[in-house]
Structure 1
Amino acid sequence: MTNAIGREASVQTPDDGCSIGGDQRRRSGVLGAIAAVMRSGASLFVDLIARFTQGIRLLAPLVLGTACTASDAVEIAPAVQAVPPAPAPPEETGPRRVGQFSITFYYVIGEDEVSPRKPLQLAANDNRNGENRNGGERSDEDRNASDSDADDGDAELASISPDLVTLYAGGGGCEPIAEVSKEFAAQLAMQGTGKLNDGRIINVFGACRCSRNPCFKVTQARWGTAGNGRSLQPFRTVAVDPKVVKLGSLLYVPLLDGRPMPGRRPWGGFVHDGCVVADDTGGGIVGKRMDLFVGRKSYLTGLGKSGTGGSHAWAKRAQVFDGASLCERKGRVVRRKSGAI
């Protein structure tokens, strides 16, 4: 029995996996499979990281605008604050500004508008109605004194008559034009144009070699002529400094625009549109000063009524613009262009 039992004990049963050794082998196989999967996953993950890094290296030069290759290190520059470009200067619209001017006025001075300065009369012959200086009857002594003074009458009359000066024509001939009072001659030289008592219009000619300066010229123009030879136009012609404004230029003066002009049509009696023409010059017109021709002295007075307190202070500061795009001259007529402003 003993041998039988021993033989039974030595008989090995087949390994169905349920034994202890089978369990160990099964666990080892599972762990090996897991390890293989992990190694494969890690390899895939490392490969994915490598591909992602390579992609960044390839795209970085395109994004950053550099010349880096895939083997270069990617260096990201710090952000730079963008500076907006300076705004372009605004385009000028409307007429070009010439500047700020002071406006003065001039006109045709009439000989009859200037009162000559008369010297005081001597009182020696102030004995009228047979009375002496004390109001009583004239004595024989007074009569004799009066008779003795009769010869001095011409000298006394000469002393109370105005001082006269001769105006000469320029151009070389020094022909006399007229004899006028010193006061009128002074006003004529200042205004540049005058009207004699006989109706003739004369203009300043300029310096000459005659015995009296300046010389003058007789003109057929109703209001006289400007420095460039054109006829003067009331409220349209201005005298300027040719170093500042080119002669013949059309100008626009907003200060005049809408202001009523004195006088009667066609020379006055209208609402100004601001357009004038620089046809004249003057010895006292220097820099940004403008002399507006107003025609007559009475028109100057009427123009002052449009200012505060009847003065011309409103014209001391006036903006002046190039009037080429706003104004036009057709013959003797200066006006605003149709549809301008």
Structure 2
Amino acid sequence: MQGTVRVSSGRARGFQFFGFAGTATTSQVDCTRFYPHHPTLGRARFRAVSSPRASSSAAVPYRTIAVDPAVIPLGSAVYVPQARGVMIPVRNGVIRHDGWFVASDVGGGVRGHTIDFFVGTTRTSPFAFAKGRRGDRFVAYVVEDASIARALAKQRSIEASLALLAQH
């Protein structure tokens, strides 16, 4: 699990944001009545954050990554060779990933040379090289071509950003 939740603060137009902070060994709340196929859902822990994301753009599944901004500047285009060719599920079937990502989130537990790949609501990540296991290693290049980062950041879907990048 990853991401941020928005909870009404009880005030007019007021919300508080909480970011995923890990899982515990015991459940904090029993959600099995609502989510019977996810018995571990209540083990998720969240912490208060000041905003829903590090940037104002929406997270795009299979394109947005969370980084430590001291290592990879926010807004950077990042190329991960191992992601190139990975089959990504989309509305009308599957597409091959091009290996490009945009660093536009800071994540809850992203520190140092760690990258968190946003995969939306899918149950499993298609990126076998980055399953969050201690010791997982992969190469990532920060590409200093601002036009690529801008093109990636303004797209609302992986399909749209693949089409735009094909023009570069």
TM-score of the two chains, using structure 1 as the length reference: 0.33
Residues 253-268 of structure 1 aligned to structure 2 (within 5 Å): 253-261=80-88, 263-265=89-91
Measure the CA separation in 2 of the matches of 1:282 and 1:171. Answer: 27
**What's the counterpart of residue 99 of structure 1?**
none
Contact in 1 for aligned 2:61/2:118 (Cα 8 Å): yes
List 4+ stretches of structure 1 deviating above 4 A. Answer: 106-110, 170-176, 182-186
Matched, 1:187 2:30: no
Query: Going by fraction, where is helix more abundant, 1 or 2?
Result: 1
Matched, 1:246 2:73: yes
Given that 2:72 and 2:142 are in contact with CA atoms closer than 8 Å, whether structure 1 keeps it comes out as no
Please tell me whether the aligned partners of residues 57 and 153 of structure 2 are also in contact (alpha carbons under 8 angstroms): no
Provide the residue aligned with 1:318 in structure 2: 138
Alignment of 1:275 with 2:100, yes or no, is: yes
Superposed displacement of residue 324, structure 1: 3.9
SS in 2 for 1:241: coil
Counterpart AA for 1:181 = V
- Tell me how far apart the structure 2 counterparts of residues 250 and 269 of structure 1 sit (CA, whole Å): 23
Task: Return the offset for 1:242.
Answer: 0.7
Unaligned runs of at least 5 residues, structure 2: 17-27, 31-39
Which amino acid in the other structure matches residue 206 of structure 1?
A: V
Structure 1 contact 170–206 (Cα < 8 Å) conserved: no
Relative distance call for 1:331 and 1:318 in structure 2 (3 A) is: same
Change (3 A) 1:227 1:175: closer
Aligned positions of 1:61-140 closer than 5 A = 106-107=1-2
Counterpart residue number, 2:117 = 292
- Give the 3 Å change call, closer, same or farther, for CA 338–185 of structure 1 in structure 2: same
Identity of aligned residues (%): 24
> How has the CA–CA distance of structure 1 residues 330 and 233 changed in structure 2, closer, same or farther, with 3 Å as cutoff?
closer
Identify, as 1 or 2, the structure richer in strand: 2
Q: Does 1:331 align with 2:157?
A: no
- Paired residues, what number? 138
- Structure number, greater radius of gyration: 1
CA distance in 1 between counterparts of 2:11 and 2:42 reads 19
Which structure has the higher relative contact order (CA within 8 Å, separation 6+)? 2
Distance 1:240 1:298, change over 3 A: same
Deviation at 1:239, TM superposition (A): 0.3
Q: Matches of residues 36-47 of structure 1 in structure 2 within 5 Å?
A: none
Q: What runs of 5+ residues in structure 1 fail to find an aligned partner?
A: 1-105, 111-166, 190-203, 208-216, 218-224
Q: Tell me the secondary structure at the aligned position of residue 273 of structure 1.
A: coil
CA–CA distance in structure 1, aligned partners of residues 116 and 10 of structure 2: 24
Contact 2:62 2:117 in 1 (8 A): yes
- The question of whether the paired residues in 2 share the 8 Å contact of 1:285 and 1:291 is answered with yes
